[in-house]
């Protein structure tokens, strides 16, 4: 049994996330965590809400809530939606936690002790209309590198170039739109990333198995322009982790907080500590996942994220860990994703364009969405959601292939043999061929899951379902029953065992339907199939089962048209 630490990028607190956010990190991370657990490995799957920074303050101001109250409410809402989608986190934490505050201040102190923090008097943009300094991401303008006219002051989302606000052409406040901006002097702490460039570059170069998307973005940031630059890690804000050096005050930094991108990744560690606290454990319980000197040397650490988060996870967070001089567990593999677009354009929170997690669960069960998103995961390039494709995939894959197979076998058995596995002879040549083909497909499915090739794994799982349908069509027990009831009973026994097998294999992708199937088969304790032939003997003669409800109802043309119209414009 191996030990696996899995983290998915932290969703920001300001609102409900859309399907593109979901498939970019949390959902594939859950797929992998569920698979590893099913194979018997020890898994720690961590996520949290990212709660600091200006967007949280602005979102709270719009609702009239104190920012702490707003974040607490939105954390609860996001956790409820995560549960609704079956995201099996071991802990879903909060970056505003006491644990994260303590750890962030600890890391800042360690970095300072190691000589990797410097104080900088700098020019920062002040907005007269807003009456405040503007954080980098709340200054917009034209990117000097690619000409994108909505680049932020910290990074251009279009070309991913790292920016400073003063780099922008025609800057404006993203809060008020005002161009009445003034550059004022203020003092901040900078993380000396440039001093760690060699160590970070060597570390990245050693990751030969990382996706090209991950390494290409990381190397671009290392070499683009002047290369890896020092990065400001403090801001003039009220909401965030107060700037302290460990437990001590930091002279000259009074009233400032740490930059959200400094404290947010540290929450991966803090959330694991929150898990230990909730479980009644001591610090050793979480440190065995994160400290190489306390048991984490045998942990495999995998991160899941969208491509826009890659620079901070390949450069800035590693700089924090390396620069601390302490033996922290570094990530082993970063699975990054491209973007999911919506019907030829972008999802829009402000316009309500596209499907958001809350509305998705209102119109269809989670497994419909899980299956489509994972089987169309934006791995090698961007993927596009269209209602036509969604309808087609759900109807063909889930309803016609898997759902139809389960329904036909269980209903036929109930009608001819009752609700128990019938007595029968041994499997024949046709069944042995099926077992051979299934074994090949299942081993390929496992290989793709272990390699985190999400779309390929989905394709193999569908092919496994198809093998059962092809067998059923060829065997035709409803016809055989008329002349050879014993052989028909054997075929039905194979079919019922296939349903059990499909339930086990499908849990990572469609956990709710898979568990429902296993419950109907009276087999909720089913293990992952090592020997496929043995697994297809697991339900013996006389084993009781029940006919499940329809696993997947088809999406009608009327449904599709209605939803396409509903999610095309401004949300009510």
The response to whether 314 counts as a known ligand-binding position is: no
Question: How far apart are the C-alpha atoms of 66 and 87, rounded to whole Å?
Answer: 29
Closest C-alpha among 399, 421, 394, 397 to residue 409: 421
The response to whether 159 counts as a known ligand-binding position is: yes
Q: Which residue has the tokens 């990054």?
A: 336
Closest C-alpha among 357, 390, 356 to residue 375: 390
Produce one character per residue of 200-222: b if its CB has 16 or more CB atoms within 10 Å, e if not. bbebbeebeebbebbbebbebbb
Question: How far apart are the C-alpha atoms of 314 and 422, rounded to whole Å?
Answer: 57
Q: Which residue has the tokens 């209903």?
A: 411
Question: How far apart are the C-alpha atoms of 370 and 31, rounded to whole Å?
Answer: 9
Chain center to CA of 376: 14
Cβ-contact 20, 342 below 8 angstroms: yes
Q: Which residues pair with 184 in a beta bridge?
A: 124
Closest C-alpha among 189, 174, 175 to residue 259: 189
Question: Residue 343: in which H helix or E strand, if any?
Answer: none
The response to whether 47 counts as a known ligand-binding position is: no
Burial (CB < 10 A; 0-12, 13-18, 19+), residue 425, is exposed
Per-residue 3-state assignment (H helix, E strand, C coil) for 435-476: HHHHHHHHHHHHHHHHCCCHHHHHHHHHHHHHHHHHHHHHHC
Q: Which residue has the tokens 């016609």?
A: 400
Question: What's the maximum distance between 2 C-alpha atoms anywhere in the chain?
Answer: 92
The response to whether 413 counts as a known ligand-binding position is: no
> Using CA of residue 166, residue 172, residue 175, residue 176, what is the dihedral sign?
positive
Question: How far apart are the C-alpha atoms of 367 and 27, rounded to whole Å?
Answer: 11
Question: What phi-psi label fits residue 334: left (phi over 0), alpha (psi between -120 and 50 degrees) or beta?
Answer: beta
Backbone angles phi, psi at 531, to 5 degrees: -90, 110
Cβ-contact 91, 271 below 8 angstroms: yes
Opening angle at CA 245, ends 243 and 251, nearest 5: 70
The single-letter DSSP state of residue 395 is I
Q: Which residue has the tokens 């272990």?
A: 450
**Binding site for Zn(2+): what residues are annotated?**
143, 146, 156, 159
Binding residues, by number, are 143, 146, 156, 159, 349
Q: Please state the residue numbers annotated as binding site for ATP.
A: 349
């Amino acid at each position: 049994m191996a030990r696996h630490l899995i983290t998915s990028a932290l969703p920001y607190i300001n609102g409900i996330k859309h399907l593109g956010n979901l498939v970019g990190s949390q959902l594939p991370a859950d797929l992998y965590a569920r698979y590893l657990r099913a194979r018997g490995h020890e898994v720690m799957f961590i996520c949290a809400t990212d709660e600091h920074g200006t967007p949280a303050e602005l979102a709270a101001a719009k609702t009239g809530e104190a920012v702490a109250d707003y974040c607490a409410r939105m954390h609860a809402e996001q956790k409820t939606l995560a549960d609704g989608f079956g995201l099996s986190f071991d802990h879903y934490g909060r970056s505003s936690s006491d644990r994260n505050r303590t750890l962030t201040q600890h890391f800042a102190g360690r970095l300072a002790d190691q000589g990797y923090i410097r104080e900088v008097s700098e020019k920062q943009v002040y907005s007269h209309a807003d009456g405040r300094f503007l954080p980098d991401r709340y200054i917009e303008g034209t990117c000097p590198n690619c000409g994108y006219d909505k680049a932020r002051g910290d990074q251009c989302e279009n070309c991913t170039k790292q920016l400073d606000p003063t780099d922008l052409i025609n800057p404006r406040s993203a809060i008020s739109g005002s161009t009445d901006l003034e550059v004022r002097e203020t003092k901040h702490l900078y993380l000396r990333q440039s001093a760690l460039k060699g160590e970070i570059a060597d570390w990245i170069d050693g990751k030969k198995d990382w996706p090209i998307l991950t390494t290409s973005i990381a190397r671009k940031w290392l070499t683009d322009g002047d290369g890896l630059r020092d990065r400001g890690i403090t801001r003039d804000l009220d909401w965030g982790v107060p700037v302290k050096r460990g437990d001590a005050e930091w002279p000259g930094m009074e009233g400032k907080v740490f930059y959200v991108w400094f404290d947010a990744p540290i929450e991966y560690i803090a959330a694991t500590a929150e898990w230990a606290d909730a479980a009644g454990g001591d610090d050793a319980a979480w440190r065995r996942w994160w400290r190489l000197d306390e048991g984490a040397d045998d942990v495999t650490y995998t991160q899941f994220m969208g491509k826009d988060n890659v620079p901070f996870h390949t450069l800035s967070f590693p700089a924090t860990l390396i620069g601390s001089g302490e033996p922290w567990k570094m990530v082993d593999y970063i699975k990054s994703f491209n973007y999911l677009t919506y019907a030829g354009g972008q999802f829009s929170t402000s316009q309500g364009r596209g499907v958001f997690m809350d509305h998705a669960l209102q119109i269809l069960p989670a497994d419909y969405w899980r299956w489509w998103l994972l089987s169309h995961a934006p791995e090698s390039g961007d993927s596009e959601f269209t209602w036509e494709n969604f309808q087609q995939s759900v109807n063909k894959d889930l309803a016609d292939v898997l759902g139809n197979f389960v329904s036909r076998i269980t209903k036929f058995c109930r009608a001819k043999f009752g609700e128990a596995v019938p007595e029968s002879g041994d499997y024949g040549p046709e069944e042995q061929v099926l077992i051979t083909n299934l074994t090949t497909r299942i081993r390929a499915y496992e290989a793709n899951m272990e390699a985190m090739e999400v779309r390929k794994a989905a394709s193999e799982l569908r092919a496994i379902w198809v093998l059962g349908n092809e067998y059923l069509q060829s065997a035709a027990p409803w016809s055989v029953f008329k002349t050879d009831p014993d052989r028909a009973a054997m075929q039905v026994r194979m079919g019922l065992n296939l349903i059990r097998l499909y339930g086990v294999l499908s849990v990572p992708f469609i956990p709710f339907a898979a568990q429902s199937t296993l419950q109907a088969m009276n087999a909720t304790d089913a293990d992952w199939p090592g020997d496929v032939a043995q697994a297809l003997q697991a339900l013996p003669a006389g084993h009781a089962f029940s006919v499940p409800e329809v696993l997947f109802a088809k999406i009608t043309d009327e449904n599709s048209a209605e939803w396409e119209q509903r999610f095309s414009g401004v949300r009510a």
